[in-house]
């Protein structure tokens, strides 16, 4: 997905000379083409993420649209106060790009697992978060937000496979409903939506038909879409490669409560800091019960007890 | 502006600082007095004929001294009497720290160590946009404690931002103590030079020396004036006193401070 994203960014830069790409010394085998095509608008800021965001703020104030690029933990958490006091406070179109998310950097360990980026970005009312579920949606999201006047955090996964049924659809602040079912619902965000779709397939094989909604933005968040999807559902499961608090699960819980819905909510995500155990993404997602089989089992159990 | 005019401008800034901080009943007076001469020098250097995106910028990285900037804006008639009188009143745009919604404030600051990165980005944008815009930033001692300041120092040199000038208000103290007792940093100009800057140490209340340093060539290097200043300069009982980072004026100290500033003006 990240190669597609940067490729699309190149297409955007070709027609919009405000677009710049700043990296915190990361992006080997990903950023070279952009650098070659737009040498004056590509800057390696070094491993100095706070300054990178500050510089981007100064650039944006002068009319540029800078994208700052690093692994999601490094681009969202290290310079968080710079993001808050910079593009958020000044209302400037800086794009913070966080590569990976959840366990995508599996073998690299906890320092590389972005598990609270949705939460901290969503806490800023003037910060938009965009988390595409596949490469085509990432391209669509980039195009759709090209003229967005305010800052955006993009969480860009590494997974290249298209999410079945998504077909590159993206609309800021809206949810995409992949399938409708009357027995329950799954709401997912980001690349882990693949597991959600597989879980729905597993449930279907057992005669349980659940709706599947894909959320891909916060602020604006698709509260009305989610409320509509869950209006008649006895139970719903949120799926995110993120801590269970502060991200999608919290957003859906707030939506259920604020709309007075009777839907029971289960939140799949990471429950505690996953220290002391590295491994592949698949291993860790299974360990934290984000794999399709766990998701299906959990929702099925809930549906038989409500 | 002549040297005499710059001095008079700085004195007028100090006068406004004392008057408005007394009216508002707030502190940070010593920090604002410390940079009155630096603000006056930057205002004198800025090319005010360019407007909009091409205007010369001033990033007050030590945002807690914003009253010095407001005073300059008021003296230049960019903000009116009503605005300056609203300093720290309920609903004002003129808080202790600067807010960019106010005309004349280019960036919000207040969290130490962020302003130099903003200024660096603005200077980089000028290069990309082929603008003649100059960018100035005023930093405090304590901002040299912040690692992010040094990130920006390295970056600005790497990018050869010769359109960037920082003035470091080296008054030797910070919120809770004198800098040698907190985190001592010696030879600031030498350190900046070694990072690829053109740095000069100047007496920070001497408009002739500051003006000369700003007129000197600096090649392709970003430029730093390490200004040796006195915290609370111009009001003897505040000078180099840690407590005047926070204390507000009362009737007695206000009268004494105004009398001292009036004496300075007569002497000049």
For the stretch B25-47, pLDDT in tens is: 999 999 999 999 999 999 999 98
Residue B49: band (very low, low, confident or very high) from pLDDT cuts 50, 70, 90: confident
Same-domain status, A49 and A182: no
> Which sequence spans correspond to the domains of chain B?
3-267
Instruction: Check: CB of residue A155 under 8 Å from CB of residue A188.
Output: no
**Residues in B 39-78 with any Cβ partner in A closer than 8 A:** 53
In this complex, how many residue pairs, one in chain A and one in chain B, have their CB atoms less than 8 Å apart?
97
pLDDT at residue B52 tops 90: no
- Distance from C-alpha of B204 to C-alpha of B229, rounded to nearest angstrom: 5
CB contact under 8 A, B122 and A43: no
Hey, what are A217's tokens? 């933005």
Residue A132 counted as domain residue: yes
pLDDT at residue B13 tops 70: yes
- pLDDT above 70 covers a percentage of chain B that reads 100
Residue A199 counted as domain residue: yes
How large is the average pLDDT for residues A229-255? 98
Same-domain status, A23 and A124: yes
Collapsed DSSP state (helix, strand, coil) of residue A67: strand
Residue A190 counted as domain residue: yes
Instruction: Check: CB of residue B121 under 8 Å from CB of residue A56.
Output: yes
Residue B73: band (very low, low, confident or very high) from pLDDT cuts 50, 70, 90: very high
Nearest to B120 among A20, A40, A55 (CB): A55
Average pLDDT value for chain B: 96
Output b/e per residue, A127-162; b: 16+ Cβ within 10 A: bbbbbbbbbbbbbbbbeebbeeebbbbbbbbebeee
Residue B12: band (very low, low, confident or very high) from pLDDT cuts 50, 70, 90: very high
Average pLDDT value for chain A: 96
Taking contacts as CB-CB distances below 8 angstroms, the residues of chain B near A56 are 121
CB contact under 8 A, A54 and B107: no
pLDDT tens profile A160-199 = 789 999 999 999 999 999 999 999 999 999 999 999 999 9
- Nearest to B63, CA basis, from B35, B24, B23, B37: B35
- Distance from C-alpha of B14 to C-alpha of A139, rounded to nearest angstrom: 55
Q: The domain that contains A237 carries what CATH number? A: 3.40.50.920
CB contact under 8 A, A61 and B106: yes
- Distance from C-alpha of B87 to C-alpha of B70, rounded to nearest angstrom: 9
Residue A167 counted as domain residue: no
Same-domain status, A187 and A113: no
Same-domain status, A25 and A119: yes
pLDDT at residue B186 tops 80: yes
Same-domain status, A152 and A6: yes
Same-domain status, A7 and A123: yes
Same-domain status, A149 and A192: no
Hey, what are B236's tokens? 């003897």
Same-domain status, A70 and A193: no
- Among A30-34, A136-140, A275-279, where is mean pLDDT lowest? A275-279
Q: Scanning the structure block, which residue is given the tokens 């819980």?
A: A253
pLDDT tens profile B111-143 = 999 999 999 999 999 999 999 999 999 999 999
Instruction: Check: CB of residue B42 under 8 Å from CB of residue B167.
Output: yes
The residue segments making up the domain with residue A244 are 175-305
- Distance from C-alpha of B263 to C-alpha of B268, rounded to nearest angstrom: 9
Q: Phi first, then psi: what are they for A279, rounded to 5°?
A: 155, -175
From its phi and psi, is residue A102 left (phi > 0), alpha (psi between -120 and 50) or beta?
left
Residue A162 counted as domain residue: no
Collapsed DSSP state (helix, strand, coil) of residue B265: helix
- Going by C-beta distance under 8 Å and a sequence separation of 6 or more, which residues neighbour residue A270? A102, A115, A241, A242, A243, A244, A288, A290
Alpha carbon dihedral A146, A80, A155, A54, in 10-degree steps, equals 40
Q: Which residues pair with A153 in a beta bridge?
A: A96, A129
pLDDT at residue A300 tops 90: yes
pLDDT at residue A158 tops 90: no
Same-domain status, A151 and A204: no
Nearest to B117 among A20, A50, A63 (CB): A50
How large is the average pLDDT for residues B202-216? 97
From its phi and psi, is residue B104 left (phi > 0), alpha (psi between -120 and 50) or beta?
left
**In angstroms, how far apart are the furthest CA atoms of chain A?**
61
Same-domain status, A152 and A242: no
- Distance from C-alpha of A248 to C-alpha of A251, rounded to nearest angstrom: 5
CB contact under 8 A, A55 and B155: yes
pLDDT at residue A306 tops 70: no
- Nearest to A73, CA basis, from A217, A274, A233, A301: A274
pLDDT tens profile A171-181 = 999 999 999 99
Distance of alpha carbon A91 from its chain centroid, rounded? Answer: 21
- Distance from C-alpha of B258 to C-alpha of A264, rounded to nearest angstrom: 68
pLDDT value of residue A9: 97
How large is the average pLDDT for residues A102-114? 94
How large is the average pLDDT for residues A190-213? 97
pLDDT value of residue B80: 97
Same-domain status, A11 and A131: yes
Nearest to A85 among B111, B116, B123 (CB): B111
- Nearest to B183, CA basis, from B213, B228, B146, B133: B146
ipTM over 0.90: yes
pLDDT tens profile B74-112 = 999 999 999 999 999 999 999 999 999 999 999 999 999
- Distance from C-alpha of A178 to C-alpha of A7, rounded to nearest angstrom: 26
- Distance from C-alpha of A72 to C-alpha of A129, rounded to nearest angstrom: 12
pLDDT value of residue B171: 97
Instruction: Check: CB of residue A138 under 8 Å from CB of residue A80.
Output: no
- Going by C-beta distance under 8 Å and a sequence separation of 6 or more, which residues neighbour residue A11? none
> Which spans in B96-204 are helix H?
115-128, 147-158, 179-182, 188-194
pLDDT at residue B62 tops 70: yes
- What's B3-267's CATH class? alpha beta
CB contact under 8 A, A55 and B124: yes
Q: How many domains does chain A have?
A: 2
- Distance from C-alpha of A298 to C-alpha of A294, rounded to nearest angstrom: 6
- Distance from C-alpha of A113 to C-alpha of B122, rounded to nearest angstrom: 32
pLDDT tens profile A42-97 = 999 999 999 999 999 999 999 999 999 999 999 999 999 999 999 999 999 999 99
Same-domain status, A211 and A116: no
Taking contacts as CB-CB distances below 8 angstroms, the residues of chain A near B128 are 20, 40-41, 59, 64
pLDDT at residue A152 tops 70: yes
């Amino acid at each position: 997905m990240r190669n597609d994203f940067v490729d699309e960014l190149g297409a955007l830069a070709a027609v919009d000379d405000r677009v710049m790409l700043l990296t915190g010394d990361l992006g080997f085998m990903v950023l070279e083409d952009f650098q070659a095509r737009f040498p004056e608008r590509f800057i390696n800021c070094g491993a100095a993420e706070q300054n990178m965001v500050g510089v981007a703020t100064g650039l944006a104030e002068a009319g540029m649209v800078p994208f700052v690029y690093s692994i999601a933990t490094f681009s969202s958490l290290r310079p968080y106060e710079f993001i808050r006091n910079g593009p958020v406070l000044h209302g400037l179109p800086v794009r913070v790009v966080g590569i990976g998310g959840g366990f995508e950097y599996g073998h690299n360990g906890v320092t590389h697992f972005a598990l609270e980026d949705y939460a901290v970005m969503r806490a800023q009312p003037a910060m938009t978060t965009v988390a595409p579920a596949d490469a085509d949606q990432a391209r669509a999201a980039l195009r759709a937000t090209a003229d967005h006047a305010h800052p955006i955090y993009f969480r860009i996964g590494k997974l290249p496979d298209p999410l079945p049924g998504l077909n590159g659809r993206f609309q800021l602040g809206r949810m995409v409903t992949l399938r409708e079912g009357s027995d329950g619902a799954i709401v997912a965000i980001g690349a882990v939506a693949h597991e959600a779709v597989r879980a729905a397939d597993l449930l279907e094989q057992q005669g349980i038909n659940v709706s599947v909604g894909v959320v891909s933005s916060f602020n604006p968040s698709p509260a009305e879409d989610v409320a509509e999807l869950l209006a008649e559902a006895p139970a719903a499961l949120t799926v995110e490669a993120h801590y269970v608090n502060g991200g999608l699960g919290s957003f859906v819980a707030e939506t259920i409560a604020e709309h007075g819905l009777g839907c029971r909510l289960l939140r799949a995500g990471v429950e505690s800091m996953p220290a002391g155990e590295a491994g592949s993404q698949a291993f860790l997602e299974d360990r934290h019960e984000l794999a399709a089989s766990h998701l299906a089992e959990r929702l099925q159990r809930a549906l038989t007890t409500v | 502006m002549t040297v005499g005019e710059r001095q008079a401008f700085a004195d007028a800034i100090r006068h406004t600082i004392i008057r408005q901080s007394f009216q508002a009943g707030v502190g940070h007076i010593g920090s604002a007095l410390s940079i009155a001469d630096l603000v006056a020098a930057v205002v004198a250097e800025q090319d005010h004929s360019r407007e909009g995106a091409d205007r010369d910028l001033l990033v007050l990285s030590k945002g807690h001294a914003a009253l010095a900037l407001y005073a300059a804006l008021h003296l230049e008639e960019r903000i009116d009497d009503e605005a300056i009188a609203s300093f720290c009143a309920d609903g004002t745009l003129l808080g202790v720290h600067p807010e960019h919604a106010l005309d004349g404030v280019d960036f919000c600051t207040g969290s130490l160590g962020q302003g130099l990165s903003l200024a660096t980005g603005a200077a980089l944008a000028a290069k990309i946009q082929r603008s003649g815009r100059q960018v100035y930033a005023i930093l405090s001692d304590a901002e040299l404690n912040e690692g992010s300041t040094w990130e920006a120092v390295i970056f600005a040199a790497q990018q050869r931002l010769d359109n960037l000038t920082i003035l470091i208000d080296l008054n030797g103290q910070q919120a809770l103590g004198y800098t040698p007792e907190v985190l001592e940093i010696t030879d600031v100009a030498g350190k900046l030079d070694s990072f690829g800057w053109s740095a000069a140490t100047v007496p920070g209340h001497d408009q002739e020396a500051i003006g000369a340093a700003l007129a000197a060539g600096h090649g392709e290097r970003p430029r730093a004036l390490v200004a040796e200043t006195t915290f609370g300069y111009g009001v003897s009982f505040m000078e180099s006193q840690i407590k005047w980072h926070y204390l507000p004026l009362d009737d007695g100290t206000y009268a004494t401070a105004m009398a001292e500033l009036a004496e300075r003006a007569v002497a000049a």
